[in-house]
């Protein structure tokens, strides 16, 4: 067996990935388990995406009733696209699908809420459309731990790649010699 510089296809590549933040809206703040920790991890991933110039996409479920994306996230995302929706899956929004196609990236880092509803349905639709979807388990949540776990299990069974904030960050860097390593390492400590 010979080893080369090729990576396994499940390893994130910064030239092929975008960050998707699903429905982290103000109205959910008091209803979602571990909301603060989930938000902290999404903020880290947004800062990583900014530093590495990765595309960032936000979605909002029925923003007229549930409010907009929380300030903690909006304050740190640089350039991004925002899609309002009423369907649970982002992929049911034609402009979202068109934007993804225009990005020409095939790996999606999926974060947000709720694991068993909007994240689940979006991830399933992304996988069905041929996107390799990485579910960042410490950057998603639900109203209950049980619902979060059921959502994760179903997405995994459908072919999602399970990840966490530190894993995704290190995969995107690839090496400690990367010039942004010290900055990004400070975010995940």
- The answer to whether the beta carbons of residues 46 and 72 sit under 8 Å apart is no
Predicted confidence (pLDDT) per residue in 20-68, tens digit: 999 999 999 999 999 999 999 999 999 999 999 999 999 999 999 999 9
Question: What's domain 17-188's architecture?
Answer: 3-Layer(aba) Sandwich (3.40)
Element (H, E) at 139: strand 132-141
- Provide the 10 A C-beta neighbour count for residue 73: 22
pLDDT in tens, 136-175: 999 999 999 999 999 999 999 999 999 999 999 989 988 7
Q: Determine the pLDDT at residue 133.
A: 98
Q: Which two tokens stand for residue 40?
A: 């902290």
For residue 92, what are its two tokens? 């049911």
The alpha carbon of residue 66 and the mean position of all alpha carbons in its chain are separated, in whole angstroms, by: 20
In the chain, domain spans: 17-188
Query: For 79-105, how does the pLDDT look when each residue is reduced to its tens digit (9 = 90+)?
Result: 899 999 999 999 999 999 999 999 999
Residue 189 has pLDDT above 90, yes or no: no
């Amino acid at each position: 067996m010979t080893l080369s510089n090729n990576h396994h296809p499940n390893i994130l590549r910064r030239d092929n990935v975008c960050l998707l933040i699903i429905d982290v809206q103000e109205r959910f703040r008091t209803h979602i388990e571990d909301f603060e920790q989930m938000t902290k991890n999404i903020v880290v991933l947004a800062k990583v995406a900014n530093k590495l110039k990765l595309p960032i996409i936000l979605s909002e479920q029925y923003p007229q009733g549930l409010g907009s994306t929380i300030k903690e996230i909006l304050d740190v995302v640089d350039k991004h696209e925002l899609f309002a929706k009423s369907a649970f899956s982002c992929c049911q929004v034609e402009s979202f699908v068109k934007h993804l196609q225009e990005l020409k990236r095939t790996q999606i880092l999926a974060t947000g809420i709720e694991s068993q509803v909007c994240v689940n349905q979006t991830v399933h639709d992304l996988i069905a459309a041929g996107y390799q979807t990485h579910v960042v388990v410490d950057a998603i949540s639900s109203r209950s731990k049980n619902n979060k776990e059921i959502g994760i299990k179903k997405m995994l069974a459908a072919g999602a790649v399970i990840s966490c904030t530190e894993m995704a960050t290190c995969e995107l860097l690839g090496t400690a010699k990367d010039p942004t390593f010290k900055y990004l390492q400070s975010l995940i400590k």
